[in-house]
Amino acid sequence: MSVLTLTIDGQEVGASSDQTILDVAKAHKINIPTMCFLEGLTPWGGCRICVVDVEGAPRPLSSCTTHVTEGMVVTTTTGKLESYRKMILEMLYAEGNHTCSVCVSNGHCELQDKAQEMKMDHVRLPYLNQNMPMDSTHEHFGLDQDRCILCTRCVRVCSEIEGAQTWAVAGRGVDSHIISDLGTPWGESDSCTSCGKCVQVCPTGSLVNKGNAVNEQIKKVNFLEHLLQMRGQ
Amino acid sequence: MSKVTVATVWLDGCSGCHMSFLDMDERLIEIAEKIEFVYSPFVDVKELPESVDLGIIEGAVSNEDDLKKALKFRKSCKFLISLGDCAINGNVPAMRNKFSVRECFDRAYHENVTEHPIDPVGEGVPALLETVKPVHQVVPVDLFVQGCPPSADTIYYVLTELLAGRTPDPTTMTRFGA
C-alpha cells in the first residue's frame, strides 16, 4: 500500500493504492451514484451506475471496482455519463415489472430514488413484460422476481456475512435470476438460516418481509456497517 | 388575452389523476381564469376540437378506443402531457401484460363465474390490445408527470409553469408511485 495523488473533478486528492475511485470520492464528499454497491460487501461492479471517466481509458470505468493509480484524472459527472446512468435505469425498469404504486417498497426503494435523482421521467425502451415467478414458501420472507434488479447484494451478504451461501444467480443474460439452494423453493432451503440479511440489503421490493402492504416495507441497509464495526472488521 | 384551451382524456386508469386535478381546490378558480376546458370528463363536450393548446392524457393505452383517442389527441394538441404512472409506464393496467388477452378473459369471465360465461367482445365494446402500452409508445409526448396519482400540488406547479411560458421539471415534485 502506498500513498498517491490523483484528481477527481478537478480536485487534487490524496489516496492509498488499495482504495477504489469510489472510496476516495466518498472520503472527499464527491457524490458518485451507486446501485449494486453496499458498504461492507465486496464491490461487484455489475450495475454500472457508478461509471466515471478516467483520462486515457477507452471507456467509462465502474468506480466501485477500479483502484486508484498515481496521477489518475477522474471525471464523475458529464452529460454523457448522466445519459448512460439514466439509460441503465431505464433498462432495469424495462426488464423487470416495477409497478411502484402497488409495491411494498414504494417510497423506500433505492431504484425509485435513483430514478427520481436522475430525472428518469419515462422509459424509452419497450417493456419486456416477463412472467417472473414469486417465491412465498419461506415462513417469514418473500421473493418477488418482478422487482429484482440482479444487484447480487443478497448473494454477497449471504455468502460473505452470514456464510450460508443460500443465494446464487442462475441463467444467463436476460434469463438471469436469483435462486435459493440451487433452485429449491426458499422455504425448503437447508442452508438458509432465516437471518433476513438478504431482505435488509435488497434495494427494491424484491426480497421482503411477509405481511407488508404497499409502502410498508422499510429496509435497514445500514445494519451491515454496524455489524462489521461490532465485529471489529 | 384569450384563454389557453385544454383537453383532457381518461384512458385505462382509475380516474385518480383527474380526481387529483380537482384536488387543487380553490386554485381551480385561479386556473380557470387562464384556461378553458374544451374537451374533458370534467365538461360535457363530445367532440375533441381540431386544435387545442394543451392536451392531458391520463391512463394507459389498453384497447382500440384508447389508441384512437391517443392518436386524436396528438393530432389536435400542440403540447401533450402524459399525466400519471398509467400513462407513463402502464402501471396497474399493464400488469396483465404477463398474460395473453385469452388468459385474462378466461380468468375474469369464465373461471370465476358460475353462470353465463362470455367473452366481452362485440359491438360497443372496444377490443383489448394484446399488450397495454404507455402513451409515448403510441404517440410522441412532450411532458411526463409521474405519480399515482401526481399530487394536486404537482399538477398546479406543472400548469402554472406552462402558463408562464416555462418548461416545468416534474421530477422535482413527484416520482413513480408517488
> Looking at the domain assignment, is residue A177 inside a domain?
yes
CA distance A17 to chain B (A): 39
> Looking at the domain assignment, is residue A85 inside a domain?
no
Residue A52 has pLDDT above 80, yes or no: yes
Chain B residues in contact with chain A using a Cβ-Cβ cutoff of 8 Å: 82, 85, 88-92, 94-95, 97-99, 131, 134, 136-137, 141, 144, 146, 148, 169-171, 175-178
CATH number at residue A51: 3.10.20.740
Residue A122: which domain range? 99-230
Residue B13: per-residue pLDDT = 96
Residue A228: per-residue pLDDT = 82
**Domains of chain B as residue ranges with CATH:** 4-95+130-172 (3.40.50.700)
Residues A56-81 have a mean pLDDT of 97
CA distance B176 to chain A (A): 6
Q: Alpha-carbon distance A59 to A63, whole Å?
A: 12
CA within 13 Å, CB half, B9? 29
> Looking at the domain assignment, is residue A193 inside a domain?
yes
Inter-chain Cβ pairs, chain A and chain B, closer than 8 A: 64
**A52 and A128 part of one domain:** no
Residue B1: per-residue pLDDT = 66
> Looking at the domain assignment, is residue A94 inside a domain?
no
E-strand stretches of chain B: 4-10, 35-39, 52-58, 61-63, 77-83, 128-133, 143-145
**A49 and A104 part of one domain:** no
Residue B43: per-residue pLDDT = 95
Within 8 A of A107 by CB-CB distance, chain B residues are 177-178
Are B36 and B6 in contact by the 8 Å Cβ rule? The answer is yes
CA distance A77 to chain B (A): 19
Q: Alpha-carbon distance B159 to B87, whole Å?
A: 17
pLDDT class for A231, splitting at 50, 70, 90? confident
Residues A95-115 have a mean pLDDT of 95
**A117 and A216 part of one domain:** yes
Residue type, position A148, single letter? C
CA distance B2 to chain A (A): 31
pTM of the model: 0.94
- Count Cβ atoms within 10 A of the Cβ of residue B160 and give its class: 0-12 exposed, 13-18 middle, 19 or more buried: middle
Residue A225: per-residue pLDDT = 83
pLDDT class for A14, splitting at 50, 70, 90? very high
Q: Among B115, B123, B124, B139, which Cα is nearest to B67's?
A: B139
Are B147 and B155 in contact by the 8 Å Cβ rule? The answer is no
**A112 and A220 part of one domain:** yes
Residue A156 has pLDDT above 80, yes or no: yes
Residue in A with minimal Cα distance to B91: A99
> Looking at the domain assignment, is residue A132 inside a domain?
yes
**A103 and A73 part of one domain:** no
Q: How many domains does chain A have?
A: 2
| Contact criterion met (CB < 8 Å) for B89 and A130 | no
Within 8 A of A100 by CB-CB distance, chain B residues are 85, 148, 175-177
**A65 and A118 part of one domain:** no
Residue A227: per-residue pLDDT = 82
Interface test with A, best of B103, B143, B151, B176 (most A CBs within 10 A): B176
pLDDT digits (tens, 9 = 90+) for A169-214: 999 998 999 999 999 999 999 999 999 999 999 999 999 999 999 9
Residue type, position B34, single letter? K
pLDDT class for A11, splitting at 50, 70, 90? very high
Within 8 A of B134 by CB-CB distance, chain A residues are 122-123
**A10 and A117 part of one domain:** no
Residue A222 has pLDDT above 90, yes or no: no
**A60 and A139 part of one domain:** no
> Looking at the domain assignment, is residue A87 inside a domain?
no
Residue A220: per-residue pLDDT = 87
Q: List B143's β-bridge partners, or say none.
A: B81
- Domain boundary residue among A29, A46, A77? A77
**A111 and A50 part of one domain:** no
> Looking at the domain assignment, is residue A209 inside a domain?
yes
CATH number at residue A136: 3.30.70.20
**A125 and A179 part of one domain:** yes
**A152 and A212 part of one domain:** yes
- Per-10-residue mean pLDDT of chain B, 178 residues long, equals 93 98 97 96 94 98 98 98 98 96 95 91 91 98 98 98 97 94
ipTM for the predicted complex:
0.92
Residue A146 has pLDDT above 70, yes or no: yes
| Contact criterion met (CB < 8 Å) for A121 and B144 | yes
A112 touches chain B (CB under 8 A): yes
**A107 and A141 part of one domain:** yes
Give the cell for residue A77. Answer: 459527472
Residue in B with minimal Cα distance to A105: B177
Q: Alpha-carbon distance A47 to B156, whole Å?
A: 36
CA distance A206 to chain B (A): 16
Beta strand B35-39 with A51-54 is unpaired
> Looking at the domain assignment, is residue A130 inside a domain?
yes
Give the list of residues 6+ apart from residue B130 with CB closer than 8 angstroms, or none: B100, B101
